[in-house]
């Protein structure tokens, strides 16, 4: 038969274990949140390379559409369209 | 117990502080790399200088219609300033503009180049992230006319400025 003091001590240990578990879970949550934030930061740092970021966001066809240089070719073809196919191939750097 | 909790909180606060310092330094320590954009914009500027409304600019021809090109007055004619900040002793730019005929698209009838010739080899390896510290190149091609003559124009624009664009 356990004495009253021993029973109190055992109950106190159980309370300490529960308390420790709470802190452990809290620590894990804090670490996970930090990892998420650090990962987001690293992703944001990648966007500082504008060229790669733009290529990643817009497809190459979109980039071609907004090419200011292509307008020059279109205007010139409007003035003289001889050899148009050869010109367009050269402009697109096709063989 | 209170002492343990104090040590625990100190450790957590230190961890969070280290993470915040890392995140701020990582984000603000990495400069925006705009070299390719700058090279593209400069190439557009040169293209505007060489050709307007589908015709090659008249100042590139003499009174008889022969191409004379630039006479070391590229910056003045095109309104481009190639000087850079004092931290660099060498030019950080290179420009090439070549006028080709339809008959011979390999050898230009006329070409003009200015700036730092040492930057040209960077163009071949610029897509490799390992060589990010080298210059960025942009090549643009377009077609233009002058009367009945047809010109294929190639512009190569190179910008270095690594120190300000890459960590």
Give residue-wise pLDDT tens across range A7-34: 776 666 666 677 778 888 888 999 999 9
Query: Whole domain around residue A83: which residue ranges?
Result: 58-95
> Is the ipTM value over 0.85, yes or no?
no
Contact (CB<8Å) B143/A73: yes
Q: pLDDT digit string (tens) for B104-155? A: 888 998 999 988 898 888 888 777 777 777 888 999 999 999 888 899 999 9
Please check whether residue B12 is in contact with residue A30, taking contact to mean a CB–CB distance below 8 angstroms. yes
What's the domain count of chain A?
A: 2
For residue B8, give the nearest of A23, A37, A38 by CB distance. Answer: A23
Does B146 lie in the same domain as B96? yes
Neighbours of B36 (CB within 10 A): 22
Å from B71 to nearest chain A CA?
Answer: 24
Neighbours of B103 (CB within 10 A): 9
What's the domain count of chain B?
A: 2
- Distance CA(A26)–CA(B9), nearest Å, equals 11
How many CB pairs below 8 A link A and B? 95
Chain mean position to CA A86: 42
Does B47 lie in the same domain as B118? yes
> Would an 8 Å CB–CB cutoff place B23 in contact with chain A?
yes
Alpha helices in B51-154 (DSSP H): 74-78
Helix (H, G, I), strand (E, B) or coil at B136: strand
Does B6 lie in the same domain as B85? no
Residue B145 has a pLDDT of: 92
Does B78 lie in the same domain as B121? yes
Query: Whole domain around residue B63: which residue ranges?
Result: 33-165
Chain mean position to CA B3: 60
Alpha helices in chain A (DSSP H): 4-46, 50-57, 60-65, 68-79, 84-91
Contact (CB<8Å) A37/B55: no
- Distance CA(B43)–CA(B34), nearest Å, equals 14
Contacts of B54 in chain A (CB under 8 A): 72, 75-79
Does A3 lie in the same domain as A41? yes
Does B154 lie in the same domain as B84? yes
Does B44 lie in the same domain as B20? no
Å from B19 to nearest chain A CA?
Answer: 7
Contact (CB<8Å) A51/B136: yes
- Distance CA(B98)–CA(A69), nearest Å, equals 15
Å from A92 to nearest chain B CA?
Answer: 8
Does A70 lie in the same domain as A38? no
Contact (CB<8Å) A41/B26: yes
Nearest C-alpha neighbor of B137 from the set B164, B155, B163, B112: B155
Interface of B with A in 57-96 (CB under 8 A): none
Does A40 lie in the same domain as A8? yes
For residue B142, give the nearest of A78, A82, A91 by CB distance. Answer: A91
> Confidence band (pLDDT; 50, 70, 90) for A63?
low
Which tokens belong to B25?
A: 């330094």
pTM for the model stands at 0.74
Does A47 lie in the same domain as A1? yes
For the four alpha carbons of A76, A77, A82 and A86, in that order, the dihedral sign comes to positive
Does B138 lie in the same domain as B63? yes
pLDDT value at A6 more than 80: no
- Distance CA(B72)–CA(B80), nearest Å, equals 13
Does A77 lie in the same domain as A53? no
Which tokens belong to B96?
A: 């090439």
Does A40 lie in the same domain as A68? no
Does B40 lie in the same domain as B5? no
Does B18 lie in the same domain as B48? no
């Amino acid at each position: 038969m356990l004495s009253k003091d021993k029973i109190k001590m055992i109950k106190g240990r159980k309370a300490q274990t529960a308390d420790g578990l709470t802190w452990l879970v809290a620590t894990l949550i804090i670490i996970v949140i930090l990892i998420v934030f650090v990962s987001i930061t690293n992703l944001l740092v990648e966007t500082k390379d504008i060229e790669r970021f733009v290529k990643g966001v817009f497809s190459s066809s979109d980039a071609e559409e907004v090419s200011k240089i292509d307008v020059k070719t279109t205007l010139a073809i409007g003035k003289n369209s001889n050899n148009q196919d050869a010109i367009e191939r050269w402009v697109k750097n096709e063989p | 117990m209170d002492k343990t909790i104090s040590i625990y909180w100190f450790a957590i606060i230190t961890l969070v502080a280290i993470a915040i310092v890392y995140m701020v330094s990582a984000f603000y320590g990495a400069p925006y790399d705009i070299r390719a954009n700058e090279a593209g914009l400069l190439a557009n500027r040169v293209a505007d200088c060489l050709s307007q409304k589908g015709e090659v600019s008249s100042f590139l021809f003499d009174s008889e219609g022969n191409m004379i090109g630039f006479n070391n007055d590229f910056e003045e004619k095109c309104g481009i300033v190639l000087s850079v900040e004092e931290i660099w002793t060498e030019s950080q730019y290179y420009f090439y503009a070549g006028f080709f005929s339809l008959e011979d698209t390999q050898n230009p009838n006329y070409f003009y180049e200015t700036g730092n010739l040492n930057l040209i080899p960077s163009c071949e390896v610029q897509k490799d992230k390992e060589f990010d510290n080298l210059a960025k190149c942009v090549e643009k091609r377009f077609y233009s006319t002058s009367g009945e003559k047809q010109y294929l124009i190639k512009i190569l624009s190179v910008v270095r400025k690594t120190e300000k664009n890459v960590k």
